Amino acid sequence: MSLNRRNFDALIIGAGGAGLNAAIQLANADLRVAVVSKVFPTRSHTVAAQGGVNAALANVLPDNWHWHMFDTVKGSDYLGDQDAIEFMCREAIPTVYELEHNGVPFSRLDNGKIYQRPFGGQSQNFGGDQAARTCAAADRTGHAILHTLYQQNLRAKTHFFDEFFALDLVRDAEGVVCGALVLEIETGEPLLIEAKCTLLATGGCGQVFRTTSNAHINTGDGMAMALRAGVPLMDMEFYQFHPTGIAGKGMLITEGVRGEGGYLLNGRGERFMERYAPKAKDLASRDVVARSIVTEVKEGRGAGPKGDHVLLKLDHLGESVIAKRLPGIRESARIFAGVDPVVEPIPVFPTAHYVMGGIPTDRFGRVVMPVGSGEEAMPGLYAAGECACASVHGANRLGGNSLLDILVFGRLAGKNIIDYVKDNPFHRDIDPSSLDYAVGRLKRWDQHGKGPSVHETREKLTRCMEDHAGVFRTEEIMAEGLEKMKEIRAEMPDVRLTDHSRVFNTARIEALELENLLDVGMALAASALYRQESRGAHSRPDYPKRDDVNWLKHTLYFLEGDRLDYKPVRTKPLTVESFPPKERVY
């Protein structure tokens, strides 16, 4: 089969904050960089981030990166790697200034500096008073950042492959990654993009759950590509449920609402967070707040006719604050919940939101593989953003640290790829047989005949994940979930498409996405079942305590044989003292 080919110095898969911030670095350094995205870049899900990005600028209250680091380590329930966390918290400051210089329309303080709001899990002086660390553009920070990054890439003349779907990584005989096979959605034709270095920046996988704040496109494509290339996924059991999704629908209502002074009420009108987190209350860490809400509802103190949600009250902030600081969520609440938060509370319930785990990388953005008792970088492959796991979020991510992670590590990966390409200046010979697998995956969907549809299989999968890998997990529930996932996997070869056309065949794209969701869902279900402790977002009533003796370690899931392995947490920071595990109270 003759394939169309293009070649570049660097290939970036994904055009969200991580991919675009990496691309700017590369294009500014005059490298030929290709950005492949299955949607037009500004449709990437970074656009939906609301509340802001953390950086210890100290524009509102005293702050420094070291306090930010402490909060992030504590928030991670001590599972985060402290070298990567120190790096991220230090780099946050120049990263945010660079964004501002690039044009991001941040909200402003009277003195002209960037506006910062309090967010959950933030403190001054290592666990003291609330900090205000989240830099915001009203409640549309992700939108403001993503559009700015796209604009800067237009200026830098990045090569965009808009509406191209990445199928699989391509490697040479020695296993060096030398590009990817992609599918042009408009024509349905495959295209081989050769590159000296490839960055996976494909974002999250929230679509494995039925109710999620994630977009239709968040199907874990890069994670599944990594799995199929033999790379394990790390810490996939740690999936964050955002406390405040619109009840029954899942659209996000930013933590910034509580940062600005909003609070939660149960069906009896009680501020129940006072009972669960006496000090931080509504601004406790996300895992804590999500569990508290689910507990209130389970114990019969929910709101509404079915008692199946709680209420987020913010009318006391007044219309002018809401109009100025939270205009986007007012719009969302009106459209999707039918309430105007200026006069009545928003019905909310936790919604699947963010995967802390992902493709294991070191703090340079290189994808790492376990070798012997240590690990080695996989040549030619980097990962950044939600699809990657550096690991800066450990078992629970703090609000405002996600935009930060994608921007810091996207930027860093870009800078490091410049060096990598200098050291590896030539394209490598691609073994044609290495394309067979990816081409076969594509061809498989041309099969005719009767079988379950992609749509019904996807519904089965997302329902299974919702029922068996939610906020509270027991052995029994998860074991049943894993069995169901295995059944779905066994049925996959029978699934058929009825549409075998080429031009803009979205059914075929959804079939390929379903395969990705299945691989990533298996990683999540298997990793969750075997972690016998409660840590961060992984909450097990049958093992209610954190167990640092046995479980202060990262999980690795390999696709082959659904194998699990573990590796130690890097507790040693770059320059400061380590933060040893302590009981985590808010």
Contact set with another protein (CB under 8 A): 39-40, 42-45, 47-48, 57, 97, 100-103, 105-114, 137, 140, 143-144, 147-148, 151-152, 154-155, 186, 215-217, 249, 251-252, 328, 331-332, 335-336, 338, 453-455, 497-499, 501-507, 510
User: Least distance in Å: CB of 352 to another protein?
Assistant: 14
Give the number of C-alpha atoms closer than 13 A to the C-alpha of residue 211, restricted to the C-beta side: 21
Residue entry with tokens 């459209």: 335
User: Least distance in Å: CB of 478 to another protein?
Assistant: 28
Which H or E run includes 13? strand 4-13
Between 103 and 175, whose beta carbon lies closer to another protein?
103
Between 507 and 564, whose beta carbon lies closer to another protein?
507
Rg (CA), the chain: 23
User: Least distance in Å: CB of 32 to another protein?
Assistant: 19
β-sheet with 310-313: strand ranges across: 239-246, 346-355, 310-313, 263-265
Entry field: residues in the chain: 586
Distance CA 410, CA 182 (A): 21
User: Least distance in Å: CB of 148 to another protein?
Assistant: 8
User: Least distance in Å: CB of 442 to another protein?
Assistant: 17
Check if the beta carbon of residue 359 is closer than 8 Å to that of residue 388. yes
The dihedral built from the CA positions of residue 134, 136, 139 and 144, taken in this order, carries a sign that is negative
Residues near 202 by beta carbon (within 8 Å), at least 6 away in sequence? 13, 14, 166, 220, 221, 222, 223, 225, 385, 387
Distance CA 27, CA 16 (A): 16
Marked catalytic residue, from 228, 286, 411, 584 = 286
Mark whether 286 is an active-site residue.
yes
Check if the beta carbon of residue 402 is closer than 8 Å to that of residue 391. no
Between 47 and 234, whose beta carbon lies closer to another protein?
47
User: Least distance in Å: CB of 455 to another protein?
Assistant: 5
Between 216 and 463, whose beta carbon lies closer to another protein?
216
User: Least distance in Å: CB of 511 to another protein?
Assistant: 9
SS3 370: strand
User: Least distance in Å: CB of 47 to another protein?
Assistant: 5
Distance CA 551, CA 544 (A): 13
Q: How remote is the C-alpha of 418 from its chain's centroid? A: 25
Tokens found for residue 199 = 């960055």
Distance CA 49, CA 60 (A): 22
Between 39 and 388, whose beta carbon lies closer to another protein?
39
Distance CA 168, CA 222 (A): 9
Between 336 and 472, whose beta carbon lies closer to another protein?
336
β-pair type (164-171, 53-54): unpaired
Between 498 and 578, whose beta carbon lies closer to another protein?
498
Between 82 and 107, whose beta carbon lies closer to another protein?
107
Distance CA 236, CA 394 (A): 10
Tokens found for residue 35 = 């950005």
* Residue type at 222 in one-letter notation: G
User: Least distance in Å: CB of 68 to another protein?
Assistant: 17
Q: How many CB atoms sit inside 10 A of residue 439's CB?
A: 16
Between 155 and 563, whose beta carbon lies closer to another protein?
155
Check if the beta carbon of residue 239 is closer than 8 Å to that of residue 249. no
SS3 160: strand
Q: How many CB atoms sit inside 10 A of residue 530's CB?
A: 14
* Residues labelled catalytic: 286
